[in-house]
């Protein structure tokens, strides 16, 4: 069985003609970078894992930067799967940096921890003053379609969010699948899907009515809550009863935020 020490590093910048281009890129298996696509507003980039998923012993690194004047959208074509690990563990370190005057949207498919997996993912989001970012993340309860939920051995997810050099958020989820199963039961859900949106923009400051609309987007299948992270920054939490409810809630929020952040009008289906 192959073990990977893979990386993907890319930096987007503003071309002299006005569009966004990749100033630098470097990747090693299992990562692959699709051909970038400029849609007239943002540069769309898709990150591909060319293997079946994450296996024991894998050590992965993802470093994405948007320089001043860049507008970058990064996504993945398929879910990230952490497979059964009879022994050992896997780890991924992620860093996203957005310079002043830049835009970054990160919209990956959900993480699926399979039964018996042992996986750590450490994420750091650095947003400069005057930058704009829309960062999303999603966690599945396992392979629910096959009746395998909350079966992972150990899962550790950390998220640090820094704005203008100040740490605005530090959080950590850690434990066996059974630990999160109890949290889902608290919400009356045997199967729960968790989503996160972290958003920063000067355009979002001081609009209480808008944030009431965000939380009002909750449905019978998905609960939504929002917390102020400081000037222009918010974190939105989603807990959904199934994958479709979570996907619909993400779509609704993206449409809503696009009223304030026009670059969210870029079509994700083109990625």
Neighbour count for residue 205 (Cβ, 10 Å): 12
Would you state the pLDDT for residue 2?
Answer: 59
Residue 271 within a domain: no
Residues 59 and 28: their CA atoms lie apart, in Å, by 12
Query: What one-character-per-residue DSSP string does the chain give?
Result: ------EEEEEEEE-TTSSEEEEEEEEETTEEEPPPEE-SSSEEEEEEE-SSSB-TT-EEEEEEEE-TT-EEEEE-SS-EEE---SS--EEEEEEEEE-TT-EEEEEPPPEEEPTT-EEEEEEEEEE-TT-EEEEEEEE--EEGGGTEES--SEEEEEEEEEETTEEEEEEEEEE-HHHHHHHHHHTT-SS-EEEEEEEE-GGGTT-HHHHHHHHTT-BTTEEEEEEEEETTEEEEEEEESSHHHHHHHHHHHHHHHTTT-GGGGS-GGG-
Mean pLDDT, consecutive 10-residue stretches, the chain (271 aa), reads 82 97 92 92 92 90 98 95 94 98 97 96 98 97 86 96 97 91 80 94 85 93 93 93 95 96 87 50
* Residue 47 is assigned to a structural domain of this protein: yes
Residue 245 is predicted with a pLDDT of 96
**Any residues with CB less than 8 A from the CB of 63 and at least 6 apart, and which?**
7, 8, 9, 10, 94, 95
Domain count, the chain: 1
Q: What is the pLDDT of residue 150?
A: 94
Residue 143: closest CA among 88, 81, 186: 81
- In this prediction, residue 257 carries a pLDDT of 96
Residue with structure tokens 């051909």?
35
Number of Cβ within 10 Å of residue 268's Cβ equals 14
Cα end-to-end span (Å), the chain: 31
Domain boundaries, position 203: 7-266
Q: Domain for residue 1, yes or no?
A: no
Token readout for 152 is 């992972």
Which tokens go with 248?
A: 């619909």
Q: Is residue 2 part of a domain?
A: no
């Amino acid at each position: 069985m192959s073990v990977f020490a893979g990386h993907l590093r890319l930096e987007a910048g503003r071309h002299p003609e006005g569009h966004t281009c990749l100033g630098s890129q470097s990747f090693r298996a299992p990562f692959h970078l699709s051909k970038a696509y400029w849609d007239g507003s943002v540069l769309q980039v898709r990150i591909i894992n060319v293997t079946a998923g994450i296996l024991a012993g894998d050590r992965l690194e993802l470093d994405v930067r948007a320089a001043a004047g860049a507008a970058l959208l990064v996504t993945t074509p398929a879910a990230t799967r952490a497979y059964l690990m009879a022994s050992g563990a896997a780890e991924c370190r992620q860093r996203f940096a957005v310079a002043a005057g830049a835009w970054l949207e990160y919209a990956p498919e959900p993480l699926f921890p399979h039964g018996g997996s042992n996986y750590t993912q450490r994420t750091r989001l650095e947003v400069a003053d005057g930058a704009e970012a829309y960062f999303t993340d999603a966690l599945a309860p396992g392979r629910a379609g096959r009746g395998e939920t909350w079966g992972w051995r150990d899962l550790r997810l950390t998220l640090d969010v820094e704005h203008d050099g100040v740490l605005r958020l530090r959080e950590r989820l850690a434990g066996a699948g059974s630990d999160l199963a109890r949290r889902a039961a608290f919400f009356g859900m045997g199967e729960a899907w968790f989503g996160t949106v972290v958003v920063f923009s000067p355009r979002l400051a001081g609009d209480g009515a808008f944030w009431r609309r965000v939380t009002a987007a909750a449905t019978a299948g998905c609960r939504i809550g929002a917390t102020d992270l400081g000037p222009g920054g918010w974190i939105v939490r989603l807990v959904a009863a199934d994958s479709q409810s979570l996907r619909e809630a993400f779509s609704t929020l993206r449409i809503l935020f696009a009223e304030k952040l026009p670059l969210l009008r870029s079509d994700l289906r083109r990625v």
